[in-house]
């Protein structure tokens, strides 16, 4: 990527952590722009195709919304999306599960829409347990090469610790190994040490 990207998102972790950590791990310089609202109607109409952030803006004017689309765009520009159609399909499978089965459910629990017991009793053992089992056999989610799938799993792990589920996910030793890998990366270390606090507990 030749231009310096700008990433717009709220002052919360949630979905914004995926592109932020991806940028950090790949050592890509970008502007991390925190917004407290979706700004005004003119901004929404001109920039946000679906009225939502995150939004990626490049210097050439290219705009992209939707977290997964942004992350896949960045990954493809940096050869971080697997080495075959099969590997890319597994990455897509992982991204979908992390988004719908973990992060969205955790946000719903943080907002009081569903119980935290459901997260602890169902989502954590089912989804994190599956990823831990995969990592017990493979070095990374899709084999020997790290990809966007691993970023998603790591960010979800970090997010669940932040939301107070640290005890419940600490038993997954292979996920802990993945966490240690990312947090030994200098770009991720710098990001984690400088990321600001959040407005809401999600």
97 and 179 together in one domain: yes
101 and 171 together in one domain: yes
94 and 180 together in one domain: yes
Confidence of residue 141 (pLDDT cuts 50, 70, 90): very high
Classify the C-alpha dihedral 47-50-33-19 as positive or negative. negative
165 and 97 together in one domain: yes
Domain containing residue 174: CATH number: 1.20.1050.10
74 and 96 together in one domain: no
The reported pTM is 0.90
32 and 68 together in one domain: yes
Is 55:65 a contact under the CB 8 Å cutoff? yes
Split into its structural domains, the chain has a count of 2
Question: Residue 1 falls within a domain, yes or no?
Answer: no
89 and 75 together in one domain: no
Confidence of residue 142 (pLDDT cuts 50, 70, 90): very high
Question: Residue 24 falls within a domain, yes or no?
Answer: yes
Question: Residue 168 falls within a domain, yes or no?
Answer: yes
Q: What span, in angstroms and rounded, lies between the C-alpha atoms of 129 and 92?
A: 18
With a cut of 80, say whether residue 136 has pLDDT above it: yes
Domain containing residue 52: CATH number: 3.40.30.10
Q: Greater confidence, 107 or 129?
A: 129
64 and 126 together in one domain: no
Residues of the domain holding 38? 6-79+187-194
19-67, pLDDT tens digit by residue? 999 999 999 999 988 876 555 666 666 667 776 778 898 988 898 989 9
46 and 118 together in one domain: no
Question: Residue 174 falls within a domain, yes or no?
Answer: yes
114 and 28 together in one domain: no
Question: Residue 199 falls within a domain, yes or no?
Answer: no
70 and 92 together in one domain: no
Question: Residue 73 falls within a domain, yes or no?
Answer: yes
Cα diameter, the chain? 51
Question: Residue 89 falls within a domain, yes or no?
Answer: yes
94 and 67 together in one domain: no
pLDDT of residue 37: 59
Question: Residue 201 falls within a domain, yes or no?
Answer: no
């Amino acid at each position: 990527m030749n231009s310096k990207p700008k990433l717009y998102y709220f002052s919360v972790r949630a979905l914004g952590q995926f592109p932020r950590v991806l940028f950090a791990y790949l050592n890509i310089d970008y502007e991390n722009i925190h917004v407290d609202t979706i700004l005004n109607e003119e901004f929404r109409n001109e920039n946000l195709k679906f009225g939502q952030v995150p939004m990626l803006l490049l210097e050439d004017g290219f705009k992209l919304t939707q977290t997964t689309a942004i992350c896949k765009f960045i990954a493809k520009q940096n050869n971080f999306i697997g080495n075959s159609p099969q590997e890319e399909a597994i990455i897509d499978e992982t991204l979908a599960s992390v988004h719908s089965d973990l992060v969205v459910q955790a946000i719903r629990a943080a907002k009081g829409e569903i119980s935290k017991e459901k997260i602890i009793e169902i989502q954590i053992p089912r989804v994190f347990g599956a990823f831990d089992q995969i990592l017990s056999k493979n070095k990374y989610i899709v084999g020997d090469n790290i990809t966007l799938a691993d970023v998603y799993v790591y960010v979800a792990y970090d997010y669940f610790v932040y939301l107070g589920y640290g005890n419940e996910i600490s038993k997954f030793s292979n996920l802990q190994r993945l966490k240690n890998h990312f947090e030994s990366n200098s770009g991720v270390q710098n990001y984690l040490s400088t990321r600001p606090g959040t407005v809401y507990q999600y």
